[in-house]
């Protein structure tokens, strides 16, 4: 079986993996609405890039908007999908410029030479920045949230695309990876910071080695039990899942079901707040409450307090403008690190600024391990 990133991740539920394996990884009608918008975006990108290449320009916002409008009637989009498509196309125009060379491939299926892995990168630029040893691989996302950097880097999607490109192009040594959040016109890494997510050929091939080991494990699987997980609500196989049929798990498929779930969360959240307040009163009077190896009590926490004038002066010595520092609503350890990173200040210099703070101790109402080691914070 030829594996893609979706199939590999689907193996967290063996039942889903077995069904996708039988279908050879093809999507079903359950994702048709999302898929139709995706197809329209790729058609738009292809036409927009060709227009820019033929016109000899890097970008052309007005022409891009005209191209997007022209696609509204030809891609089978419903009323809601049309509005969504136009918003995503606008975000696309904010981030994407036509590559100087006409070497960018839009949504082309690529396979490893042995056909064991395949993928469909949204955009592959090879060479990248006129460097024949460099490639940039982009994936366009229509999500309604921008995921944290750590969460994005933990994904296997772009590294897998890079691995396939590496095996097809032995001369490529550097692999620049990028997510573009079309709904917001933002990209990660940010524009001008491509090197912040660049993998060497050695790193990419090591990743592919791990994927081949995983592929061997999947090939050896003989039992495929259903397993509940975070993908259940949009799983392509939910219509035949034995866990759903047995009502061991429930999924949200309609707006009404989502509204009902939100009502439950709201009610539970209100209940938790009330119980926390009561528990604080109890602990104030009677002391900590022990429960299954943890205690609920007031735990001392060490923090640092900063003088704004000192922080501004320290950053000015590093060539950072005052406005960049004052742009932080509060000067905390996190804020100082954010200012230093945005200004390109070295880690040692940022550490010197962090050391300026005066230590203070406060108490937080939280769960801690019974032996005294802090656990997960429960409330303030």
Q: Is residue 226 part of a domain?
A: no
* 93 located within any domain: yes
pLDDT at 28: 42
Residue 74: per-residue pLDDT: 64
Structural domains counted in the chain: 2
Q: Is 132 among the domain residues?
A: yes
Residue 25 in this model has a pLDDT that exceeds 60? no
User: Is residue 171 situated within a structural domain?
Assistant: yes
More confident residue, 293 or 140: 140
For 109, the domain range is: 5-13+21-219
pLDDT at 175: 97
Which among 219, 234, 265 is the end of a domain?
219
* The residue to which tokens 């090197």 are assigned: 195
Assess if residue 375 is contained within a domain.
no
pLDDT digits over 173-201, tens only? 999 999 999 999 999 998 888 899 999 99
Average pLDDT score over the chain:
86
Q: How far apart are CA 42 and CA 106, in angstroms?
A: 7
Q: Is the pLDDT of residue 339 over 70?
A: yes
Of 219, 250, 274, the one marking the end of a domain is 219
Burial 157-177 (b: 16+ CB within 10 A, else e): bbbbbbbbbbbebeebbbbbb
Q: Of the candidates 202, 219, 236, which is a domain's last residue?
A: 219
Check if the beta carbon of residue 310 is closer than 8 Å to that of residue 316: no
Looking at residues 106-114, what average pLDDT do you find? Answer: 93
Does any domain span residue 320?
yes
Task: Judge if 98 and 215 occupy the same domain.
Answer: yes
- pLDDT bucket at 151, cuts 50 / 70 / 90: confident
Residue 238 lies in a domain: no
Residues 27-83: pLDDT tens digits?
Answer: 444 344 456 888 889 999 999 999 999 999 999 999 999 999 988 876 667 777 888
Tell me what pLDDT residue 253 has. 79
pLDDT winner (highest mean) among 63-67, 228-232, 236-240 = 63-67
Residues 59 and 163 in one domain: yes
**Is 277 inside a domain boundary?**
no
What mean pLDDT is predicted for residues 333-337? 87
Are 211 and 80 part of one and the same domain?
yes
CB atoms within 10 A of CB 189: 17
For residue 100, CA distances in Å to 103, 104, 129, 130 come to 8, 9, 8, 8
């Amino acid at each position: 079986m030829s594996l893609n990133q979706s199939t590999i991740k689907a193996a967290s539920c063996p039942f889903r993996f077995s069904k996708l394996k039988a279908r050879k990884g093809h999507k079903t009608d359950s994702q048709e609405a999302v898929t139709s918008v995706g197809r329209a975006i790729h058609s738009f990108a292809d036409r927009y890039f060709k227009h820019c290449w033929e016109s000899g320009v890097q970008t052309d916002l007005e022409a891009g908007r005209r191209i997007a409008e022209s696609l509204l009637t030809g891609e089978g989009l419903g009323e809601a999908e049309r509005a969504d498509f136009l918003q995503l196309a606008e975000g696309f125009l904010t981030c994407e410029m036509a590559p100087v060379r006409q070497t960018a491939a839009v949504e082309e299926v690529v396979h490893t030479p042995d056909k064991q892995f395949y993928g469909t990168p949204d955009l592959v630029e090879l060479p990248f920045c006129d460097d024949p040893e460099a490639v940039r691989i982009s994936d366009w996302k229509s999500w309604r949230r921008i995921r944290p950097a750590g969460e994005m880097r933990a994904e296997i999607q772009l590294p897998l695309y890079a691995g396939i490109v590496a095996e097809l192009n032995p001369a490529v040594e550097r692999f620049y990876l990028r997510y573009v959040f079309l709904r917001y016109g933002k990209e990660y890494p940010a524009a001008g910071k491509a090197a912040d997510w660049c993998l060497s050929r050695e790193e990419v091939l090591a990743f592919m080695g791990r994927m081949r080991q995983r592929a061997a494990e999947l090939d050896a699987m003989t039992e495929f039990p259903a397993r509940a997980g975070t993908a259940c609500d949009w799983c392509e196989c939910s219509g035949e899942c034995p866990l759903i049929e047995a009502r061991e798990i429930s999924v949200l498929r309609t707006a009404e079901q989502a509204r009902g779930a939100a009502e439950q969360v709201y009610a539970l959240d209100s209940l938790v707040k009330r119980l926390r307040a009561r528990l604080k009163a109890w602990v104030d009077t009677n002391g900590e409450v022990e429960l299954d190896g943890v205690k609920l009590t007031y735990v001392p926490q060490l923090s640092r307090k900063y003088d704004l004038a000192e922080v501004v002066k320290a950053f000015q010595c590093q060539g950072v403008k005052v406005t960049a520092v004052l742009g932080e609503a509060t000067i905390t350890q996190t804020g100082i690190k954010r200012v230093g990173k945005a200004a390109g200040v070295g880690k040692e210099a940022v550490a010197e600024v962090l050391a300026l703070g005066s230590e203070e101790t406060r108490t937080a109402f939280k769960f801690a391990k019974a032996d005294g080691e802090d656990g997960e914070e429960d409330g303030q």
